Structure 1
Amino acid sequence: MADLGLLIIRLVVGLTFIGHGAQKLFGWFGGPGLTNTGQWLESIGIKPGGKIWAICAGLFELVGGFFFAAGFLTWIGAGLISIIMIDAIFTVHGKNGYWAQEGGFEYNFVLIAIVIGVALIGPGQYVLFYTL
């Protein structure tokens, strides 16, 4: 049952990050796309090159989410997701305190704990590719 539990966690978190990356990179799922994400990043003080940072963020989410969901290079996927969440804490949510209802970093922190926890445990038996 632990392997099934890990699969559920990996799929929900990983596919969510794939979706977030696709929103930033391609404008899919009602997302803003690269130009708008870049403009938003510049509006919160991430200058110069908001569009370049939007590409980086989108790729970290897309690739990290894929690796995490697939159980392939799970540590790398967890690392990419953690980097994005740490960045979100420092650039957007940290100034608002801990609790999410105040715009704080609670959700980001929980996601970091989940992906690092799964990376430490291992992806479980149900993976797309086996790695050493």
Structure 2
Amino acid sequence: MFTHGAPRTSTDATSIGLLVLRLAVGGFLLPHGLGKLFGWFSGPGLAGFAGELQQFGLPSAAPLPLVLAALQTALGLMVVAGAFTRIAAVGAAAFLGVTVALNASHGWFWMHGGIEYPMLWLLAHLMIAFTGPGTLSIDAARRGSAHGH
């Protein structure tokens, strides 16, 4: 199918495509968790995240902000690495589902604070949950499987 050192089979191409998707999807989620956890990437840190939760009328007492920020960070890492991928992708999709619900009153377009952008990432995580991580993943290595499912 491909030449000059590129993937030779559709299975190879699919695994590379799933790796790229996992790197993007988990890689885009990860800085949001790290920003909440440590204040990195101009994130709010734990105190700021607790304030954001309060603004939305959600519980914000310790240790909840820490648990949520750590979980979001871990889910992003797991998706990137392809470790317990399906579970991690569903968990990440749940986080994004909450974001979609919280922003629904702002309409569709993200430029107006709407749900467009988080919905895209929610659907991308669900795609990974349905397809699995591919062969270039910790899950595939753990199973010794060429299918990564």
TM-score by shorter chain over 0.5: yes
Identify the residue that residue 50 of structure 2 maps to in structure 1.
38
Is the partner of 1:124 in helix, strand or coil? Answer: coil
User: Over aligned residue pairs, what C-alpha RMSD do you find?
Assistant: 1.7
- Are 1:57 and 1:84, in contact at CA under 8 Å, matched by a contact in 2? no
Q: How does 1:1-132 map to 2 (within 5 A)?
A: 1-49=13-61, 51-91=62-102, 93-130=103-140, 131-132=142-143
Task: Judging by fraction of residues, say which structure has more helix.
Answer: 1
- Are 2:76 and 2:92, in contact at CA under 8 Å, matched by a contact in 1? yes
TM-score, normalized by length of structure 1? 0.87
Give 1:48 shift. 5.0
Matches of 1:48 and 1:12, distance apart in 2: 29
Query: In the alignment, residue 15 of structure 2 is paired with which amino acid?
Result: D
Aligned structure 1 segments of 4 or more residues deviating by more than 6 angstroms: none
Matches of 1:55 and 1:118, distance apart in 2: 26
Query: In the alignment, residue 124 of structure 1 is paired with which amino acid?
Result: G
Matches of 1:13 and 1:78, distance apart in 2: 9
Query: In the alignment, residue 81 of structure 1 is paired with which amino acid?
Result: A
Pair 1:102–1:125, CA change in 2 (3 A): same
- Are 2:86 and 2:133, in contact at CA under 8 Å, matched by a contact in 1? no
| Structure 2: unaligned runs, 5 residues or longer | 1-12, 144-149
Q: How many residues align?
A: 130
**Aligned residues with identical type, % of pairs:** 28
Identify the residue that residue 147 of structure 2 maps to in structure 1.
none
Between structure 1 and structure 2, the one with the greater Rg is 2
Give 1:20 shift. 1.1
Matches of 2:119 and 2:79, distance apart in 1: 17
Is the partner of 2:138 in helix, strand or coil? Answer: coil
Give 1:124 shift. 0.8
Query: In the alignment, residue 14 of structure 1 is paired with which amino acid?
Result: G
Is the partner of 1:11 in helix, strand or coil? Answer: helix
TM-score, normalized by length of structure 2? 0.78
Higher relative contact order (CA 8 A, sep 6+): 1
